[in-house]
């Protein structure tokens, strides 16, 4: 399951981002480099903040399969951020993001897990919400509106680039149950995998249906590349809690519909420039998935509730757990927005960015797009 997650990070995210017709090398190449850097730094940063906040003395950071999974989760947050600034950054700028974001990401995760004992099995809050809003704040700080306007004709896909991007979508879609369930165990892992598959299939159907409605009976490739995945995002916050199949399917349908609506009706009205539409795929569904976790925390009971919420094994009530889940969501948003804007500001100060947006010629020798 670790290898499944690994493939999602390096193959799934990489190929999904090649939809820009003149930016394919940079999309997949810098995805490769940024993920490798972020994976290592996420392990170090997560270990550091857990040691600091646990308060049980200094010790070495343990490296095992779980550590590698955490590294991939941190890299996933960075790559979601990359999607918001795709085409507008060069290699130096994305390296600044890959070095700094894991520090903020690990801090948010450690505060919520160690101090608040919040639960987010599928990463709706810790990966998707954080990565999306960090990226949007970073985009607001780093985007050069003049370059964006001058090169907007290249901010599009063509038949071949979007066909290749579909490879990334299918890898992500097929391996998502492992992403949500790799850190679960026993019957909880079974629930995670079943719920993820049900939610993903539902969001696929819903995304195609909504795309057809919005586009007068035809499908839009942007919806298919992205909104079909929203079920895996939105169900992540409650993926180990649902035991009623129709409820999981309903959540998946909502994810696909909300994401498709974002791409067709909401995206261009937002105050930021978001190249990949991470707000529609990761931001809104991630936030809703995390908020669903708040509701479930307030309603779940029974003798085995501590198998989902470890803190409920003590004196914590359902209402208190729900409160800590909600506070954790606010903390994630706050650290993501502040950290993203600071990181984008630093990246822009260190380097003005590429001469041309959405064009490989700024980063690669021999790309063929120098004109």
What is the reported pLDDT for 265? Answer: 87
Which tens digits make up the pLDDT trace of 317-364?
Answer: 999 999 999 999 999 999 999 999 999 999 999 998 888 888 888 778
- Assess whether pLDDT exceeds 70 at residue 370: no
Q: Are 99 and 45 in contact (CB under 8 A)?
A: no
Structural domains counted in the chain? 1
28-32, 126-130, 173-177, 265-269: which has the minimum mean pLDDT?
A: 265-269
Which tens digits make up the pLDDT trace of 239-263?
Answer: 999 889 999 999 999 999 999 999 9
**267 within some domain:** yes
**35 within some domain:** yes
Which tens digits make up the pLDDT trace of 82-107?
Answer: 999 999 999 999 999 999 999 999 99
**366 within some domain:** no
Domain that residue 272 falls in = 2-360
What is the reported pLDDT for 371? Answer: 45
**30 within some domain:** yes
* pLDDT bracket for residue 1 (50, 70, 90): very high
What is the C-alpha separation between 312 and 323, in angstroms, rounded? 13
What is the reported pLDDT for 267? Answer: 64
**Burial of residue 55, with CB atoms counted within 10 A of its CB: 0-12 exposed, 13-18 middle, 19 or more buried:** exposed
- Of 61, 16, 105, 20, the C-alpha closest to 359 is 20
- Assess whether pLDDT exceeds 60 at residue 215: yes
**293 within some domain:** yes
**180 within some domain:** yes
Q: Are 203 and 252 in contact (CB under 8 A)?
A: yes
CATH number, position 50: 1.10.3430.10
**235 within some domain:** yes
- Where is 50: in which H helix or E strand? helix 24-54
**365 within some domain:** no
Phi, psi of 309 (to 5 degrees): -110, 100
Residue owning tokens 């948003």: 333
Mean per-residue pLDDT, 129-147: 91
pTM of the model: 0.95
What is the reported pLDDT for 195? Answer: 97
């Amino acid at each position: 399951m670790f290898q499944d997650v690994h493939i999602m990070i390096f193959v799934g995210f990489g190929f999904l981002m090649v939809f820009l017709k003149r930016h394919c090398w940079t999309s997949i190449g810098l995805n490769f480099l940024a993920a490798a850097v972020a994976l290592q730094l996420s392990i170090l940063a997560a270990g550091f903040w857990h040691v600091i906040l646990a308060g049980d003395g200094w010790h070495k950071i343990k490296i095992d399969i779980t550590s590698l999974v955490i590294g991939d989760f941190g890299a996933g947050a960075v790559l979601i951020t990359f999607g918001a600034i795709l085409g507008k950054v060069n290699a130096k700028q994305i390296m600044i993001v890959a070095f700094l974001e894991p520090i903020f990401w690990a801090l948010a995760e450690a505060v919520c897990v160690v101090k608040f004992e919040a639960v987010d099995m599928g990463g709706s809050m810790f990966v998707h919400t954080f990565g999306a809003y960090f990226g949007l704040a970073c985009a607001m700080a780093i985007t050069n509106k003049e370059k964006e306007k001058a090169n907007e004709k290249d901010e599009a896909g063509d038949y071949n680039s979007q066909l290749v991007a579909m490879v990334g979508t299918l890898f992500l879609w097929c391996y998502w149950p492992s992403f949500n369930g790799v850190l679960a165990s026993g019957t909880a892992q079974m629930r995670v995998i079943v719920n993820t598959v049900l939610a993903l299939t539902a969001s696929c159907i819903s995304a195609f249906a909504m795309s057809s409605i919005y586009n007068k009976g035809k499908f839009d490739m942007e919806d298919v590349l992205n909104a079909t995945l929203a079920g895996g995002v939105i169900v992540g916050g409650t993926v180990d809690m649902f035991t009623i199949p129709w409820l999981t399917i309903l959540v998946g349908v909502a994810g696909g519909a909300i994401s498709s609506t974002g791409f067709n009706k909401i995206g261009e009205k937002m105050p930021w420039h978001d190249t990949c539409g991470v707000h529609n795929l990761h931001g809104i569904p991630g936030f809703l998935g995390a908020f669903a976790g708040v509701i479930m925390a307030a309603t779940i009971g029974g003798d085995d509730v501590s198998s989902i919420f470890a803190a409920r094994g003590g004196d914590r009530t359902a209402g208190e757990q729900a409160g800590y889940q909600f506070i954790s969501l606010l903390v994630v948003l706050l650290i993501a927005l502040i950290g993203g804007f600071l990181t984008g500001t630093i990246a822009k100060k260190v380097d003005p960015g590429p001469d041309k947006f959405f064009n490989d010629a700024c980063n690669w020798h021999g790309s063929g797009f120098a004109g």
